[in-house]
Amino acid sequence: MNLLRKTDYDVVVVGGGHAGCEAALACARLGCRTMLAVMNFDSIGAMSCNPAIGGLAKGHLVKEIDALGGEMAKNIDATAIQFRRLNTSKGPAVWSSRAQADQLRYRLRMKEVLEHQENLEIRQTVIDAILTDGPEQRVCGVVTSLDETFSVSAVVVATGTFLRGLIHIGLKQFPAGRMGDPPSTRLAQWFKETGFAMGRMKTGTPARLDGRTIDYSGLEAQHGDLPPHYFSFSTPAGEPALAQLPCHVTYT
C-alpha cells in the first residue's frame, strides 16, 4: 500500500456485510483513511440468511477475528437471544458454539459501531469500476454509479452474493443481491472485462415464519445454555444482555 501518494482514501471497502464491516473496522483502527461503500445504510450488518453466528468452522473463525480485534464476537454477545454449544454428545473435538441473534439489534449495533469509528467514512454509493495505473496495474481509484471518482491506494471487495446476483424461488429467477436489494452488475462486468474468472456464490435462505402463526404444542423445545458460552474473549461472564428464547424442533 503506497501511503506516500496523496489520495482521497487509503482504503475503500466495497460491501457492508460481515466481511466488509470487519475489513473497514480493521483498516480504520490501523489508522488508514477508510471509506465503506454500501448500497443502503440500513442494510449494514444485515443477516441475510440464518440469523445466527457460529457452528463448527464459523465459530472458530469468529473467535480468531475476535483475537485480532474484530467486532463480530462482541456484536453477537450483545445481541444474542440464544447461546448453545453444539455436538456435546460427541467428542470435544467437534464441540462448537452457536448463538441465535436478534436480527434487528445485531444490524443496528454493528452500524452504530461503524458510525463512531475514527478514520472511517460510510458512503451510500455503488462502486461500478476500479481504476488502475502503471505497468503493474496498481489500484489507484474507484468510480461510482454517479460517475464520482475517488483516488485510493487499496480496494477490498466484500460484495458477497451481490456481484451479478441472481435469486431463485421455485422455477422463477430474477437479478438481485438479496431479496429487496439490486445486484452489482457493472462491477461484475468490470471484473470480467479485466480478465478475472467469474463465478457465482451460492447461498440458501430459509423461510421466514411469523411466530404468532405457529402451533408450538407439538414441537420439542430446545433451550440454550445458561450460563452462556460467549464468543468474545472480552465479554465478562454473567447473564446475557437480552432475554433468552428457546428454539423449537420438528421433523419431516
Q: Residue 3 has what pLDDT?
A: 45
Contact status, residue 34 vs residue 27, Cβ threshold 8 Å? yes
Share of the chain above pLDDT 90, in %: 79
Q: Residue 6 — very low, low, confident or very high, per pLDDT cuts 50/70/90?
A: low
Strand 120-124 and strand 34-38: the pairing is: parallel
Kindly give, in sequence order, each residue whose CB lies less than 8 Å from that of residue 16, ignoring residues fewer than 6 positions away: 24, 36, 38, 43, 44, 45, 114, 122
Q: Which H or E run includes 37? A: strand 34-38
pLDDT in tens, 155-164: 999 998 899 8
How far apart are alpha carbons 234 and 127 in whole angstroms?
Answer: 35
From the list 239, 157, 166, 233, the residue with the least C-alpha distance to 190 is: 157
Are 127 and 37 in contact by the 8 Å Cβ rule? The answer is: yes
What pLDDT does 199 receive?
Answer: 83
pTM for this model (two decimals): 0.91
Give the mean pLDDT of 90-94.
92
Task: Please list the alpha-helical segments (H only) found in the chain.
Answer: 18-29, 56-67, 72-79, 103-115, 185-194
Peptide bond into 206 cis (omega under 30): no
- The pLDDT of 26-35, averaged and rounded, is 98
pLDDT averaged over every residue in the chain = 93
Q: What is the mean pLDDT of residues 79-97?
A: 94
Residue 48: what pLDDT?
Answer: 86
Residue 222 has pLDDT above 80, yes or no: yes
- Would residue 31 be called left, alpha or beta, if left means φ above 0 and alpha means ψ between -120 and 50 degrees? left
> With 90 as the cut, is the pLDDT of residue 43 above it?
yes
